[in-house]
Structure 1
Amino acid sequence: MLKPSIPTPNHLQTLKLSFFDQMVPRAYVPVLFHYLPSCSTTTERCDKLQKSLAQILTNFYPIAGRFNEDEFSIQCNDEGVEYVQTKVSADLAEFLHQGPNTELLNDFLPWPSAVPPYSDLPSSPLLGVQVNLFNCGGLVMGIQISHIVADAFTLATFVKEWAHTCLTGTTKDCLPSFGHLSSLFPTRVLSGIQYSPPSNRGTKSFTRRFVFDALAITKLKNTIKYSSAIKPTRVMVVMSLIWKVLAGISTAKNGHSRGSSFLFPINLRGKSKLPSLEHALGNGTMFGIADLEASQELNHELVGNTIRDTCVSIGKAARVDDVFCLVVNNQIKAVDMLCQGDEMDIYSCTSWCGFSWYEADFGWGKPFWVSSVSLDAIEVIMLMDTKDSDGVEAWVSLKENDMAEFERDDDILTFCSPLPK
């Protein structure tokens, strides 16, 4: 259990969480960084990782604390983060060349089971790191962070600063800070907008990875006619294609088309007029919701228009209460749809594209691959950058029968191919 190298001052011992933290799932968010062999020895790398992690935790001190459910706060008590080292009897390059099996990737995480320890228990670490050392000298670093304290922006910021500290031996004096979001958006007594998802026990999902390279995305864009002035991004066209395929699977399965909605988080940072929000750590996203009626043909501009309209609304919200109302209204809409059960289809997608994952150089080069893992307890689409940043990796988790249909869909076979299972 690694603790901050400098104890957290008394006046920072308690961090009040924000309304956005209040709304996220109580779960751990995973990511894997794969590094090919380097000239550094295993001992040197592991020593630097541990020392720099302790150093960077002095700036990211809430992550070394524990969640307090009663006060909905983080007790910044320096209890530490979990750090694990393993030895892997394999060659990393060979392992990556073979696929790899997405379910095997979970073994690189500190808590690899389908139901890891809950991140909201008073005893649960908020961060786990597992350093997996291959025979060849390759290294895979698995990170899991509690969603209560971090969204993708916060996790990417933490990894970036940790890598900088490991590479240079120094921490930056001026860093983004915790607490700003909770000062603007304190927790509230909620009524009628919370949703407890049904138990997925016995309904295992299967995760497959689909790679849309730059050429495939260009071809996909060329097949779509856009009437608006919005220039389609690679994320927009991949989201739209996946939604189209899933809607087609639903129609075939039910014998008729059904209404559906596509939910995805939108980062508030950089889009709001509120001061300093663009650098705030914690959770700072809201739902974007694109709707498709049962009789409506999916227009590939639908996702792009939803993103544009939501961002415009965020930009127009000049006051804290305006942003709060916007977020709550979309949250209520999402919960209402989820509560409809089998009457319509709800698809959830999150995009980690555009973050600096591939810049994480800890002193032995940039990662060869940054990946997700198998999410076998939920149905979700996860989008990540390819290494060249021109393509998109789609990590799709579906029930077995739906996955079989998804893999053999003509559009999926045309624009990408699933890698070995």
Structure 2
Amino acid sequence: MNVEKQPSNLIKPCIPTPPTLRHYKMSFIDELAPSMNVSAVLFFSVNHDHGPNFTTRLEQSLEKTLTRFYPLAGRYVDETHTIDCNDEGVEFTHAKVNIKMQDNILDTQENVKFVEHFLPSEIRDADPLLAVQATVFECGGVTLGVRAAHKIVDASTLCTFINEWAATNQEEINGHEFTGPGFMINSSSLFPGRSFSPIPLQPISDDDMSSKYIRKVFKFSETCNIENKIEGNYGWKY
């Protein structure tokens, strides 16, 4: 398998962030967050929406979404423990892979780090706070890999961001305007920063990944079949 990545470009909010929101203060909980990334990879089988303008539409909807998640387009300032919401942008990488997306593509991969091929590069302190990689398979299927700095994003926030991005992308298709909550509250108002240093994170070796971590694959079609059997045999309904 060979993943060919194109040079990345920066996607900026379509509406500039106002000066009153220029400095996003970090809470002391964020200050303590270890220097690590939060990541997700989404697999999409081929469909009629994956035309030549598919990735362009992703970029356009990302521009709109970033107006509500404006800190993600900024840069972290270590000296002041703040996010400079300067709209420098998030990193977007286009890629293609020389295999077809099969239903069992994840089943056949024993290496738990297989999905790393579909993620953008690791985010460092001076890098953009969010990076995206859209990888197109030979069959037309697409993976969308999203990686964010844990200082500003946790798993819940990442899910919220992806959901709002998806809704905004559907707006591009259907023409219905979507307005989500975005960053609703600055946690520093509840937990003011105290200039703490991040908690050190012990590196995880490949041996640890193989021996100490368990990987599970859930097949939703089989889950539905089990539910149908339970409903038929016992009269239970979900």
Identify if the C-alpha distance between structure 1 residues 69 and 387 changes in structure 2 by more than 3 Å, giving closer, same or farther: farther
After superposition, the C-alpha distances for 1:125-180 in whole angstroms (9 at most, x for unaligned) are 01110001001011111100111111111111100100000001365445143543
Identify if the C-alpha distance between structure 1 residues 197 and 148 changes in structure 2 by more than 3 Å, giving closer, same or farther: closer
- Structure number with larger C-alpha Rg: 1
After superposition, the C-alpha distances for 1:26-66 in whole angstroms (9 at most, x for unaligned) are 11111100000101244221111010001110111100000
Give, in angstroms, the shift of residue 199 of structure 1: 5.3
Give, in angstroms, the shift of residue 104 of structure 1: 2.4
Provide the residue aligned with 2:48 in structure 1.
39
Provide the residue aligned with 2:66 in structure 1.
57
For 2:84, which of 57, 67, 75 is the aligned residue? 75
Identify if the C-alpha distance between structure 1 residues 195 and 139 changes in structure 2 by more than 3 Å, giving closer, same or farther: closer
* 3-state SS in 2 of match to 1:132: strand
Q: By percentage of residues, which structure has more helix?
A: 1
Higher normalized contact order (CA 8 Å, seq sep 6+, divided by chain length) = 2
Provide the residue aligned with 2:117 in structure 1.
107
AA aligned opposite 1:128: A
Maintained 8 Å contact 1:16/1:74? yes
Provide the residue aligned with 2:200 in structure 1.
196
2:139 pairs with 1:146: no
Identify if the C-alpha distance between structure 1 residues 61 and 97 changes in structure 2 by more than 3 Å, giving closer, same or farther: closer
d(CA) in 2 for partners of 1:63, 1:181: 15
For 1:133, which of 128, 132, 136 is the aligned residue? 136
d(CA) in 2 for partners of 1:88, 1:57: 28
After superposition, the C-alpha distances for 1:344-382 in whole angstroms (9 at most, x for unaligned) are xxxxxxxxxxxxxxxxxxxxxxxxxxxxxxxxxxxxxxx
Q: Stretches of 4+ moved more than 2 A in 1? A: 97-104, 169-174, 176-180, 194-208
For 1:181, which of 165, 172, 187 is the aligned residue? 187
RMSD: 2.7
d(CA) in 2 for partners of 1:202, 1:135: 29
Maintained 8 Å contact 1:131/1:142? yes
Give, in angstroms, the shift of residue 85 of structure 1: 0.8
Identify if the C-alpha distance between structure 1 residues 158 and 103 changes in structure 2 by more than 3 Å, giving closer, same or farther: same
* 3-state SS in 1 of match to 2:108: coil
AA aligned opposite 2:47: S
TM-score, normalisation: structure 2: 0.78
How many residues align? The count is 209
Maintained 8 Å contact 1:16/1:179? no
Maintained 8 Å contact 1:18/1:187? yes
Provide the residue aligned with 2:215 in structure 1.
209
* 3-state SS in 1 of match to 2:102: helix
Maintained 8 Å contact 1:17/1:179? no
Identify if the C-alpha distance between structure 1 residues 96 and 200 changes in structure 2 by more than 3 Å, giving closer, same or farther: closer
2:164 pairs with 1:161: yes
* 3-state SS in 2 of match to 1:90: coil
Identify if the C-alpha distance between structure 1 residues 81 and 59 changes in structure 2 by more than 3 Å, giving closer, same or farther: same
Maintained 8 Å contact 1:164/1:171? no
Provide the residue aligned with 2:30 in structure 1.
21
* 3-state SS in 2 of match to 1:205: helix
Maintained 8 Å contact 2:92/2:131? yes
Structure 2 portions without partners, runs of 5+: 1-9, 225-238
* 3-state SS in 1 of match to 2:165: helix
d(CA) in 1 for partners of 2:132, 2:71: 16
Give, in angstroms, the shift of residue 108 of structure 1: 0.5
* 3-state SS in 2 of match to 1:210: coil
2:66 pairs with 1:30: no
d(CA) in 1 for partners of 2:79, 2:184: 20
Maintained 8 Å contact 1:29/1:147? yes
d(CA) in 1 for partners of 2:84, 2:44: 34
Give the percent of matched residue pairs that are identical in Structure 1 and Structure 2: 33
d(CA) in 2 for partners of 1:89, 1:78: 34
Maintained 8 Å contact 1:15/1:179? no
Structure 1 portions without partners, runs of 5+: 214-385, 392-421
Identify if the C-alpha distance between structure 1 residues 189 and 50 changes in structure 2 by more than 3 Å, giving closer, same or farther: closer
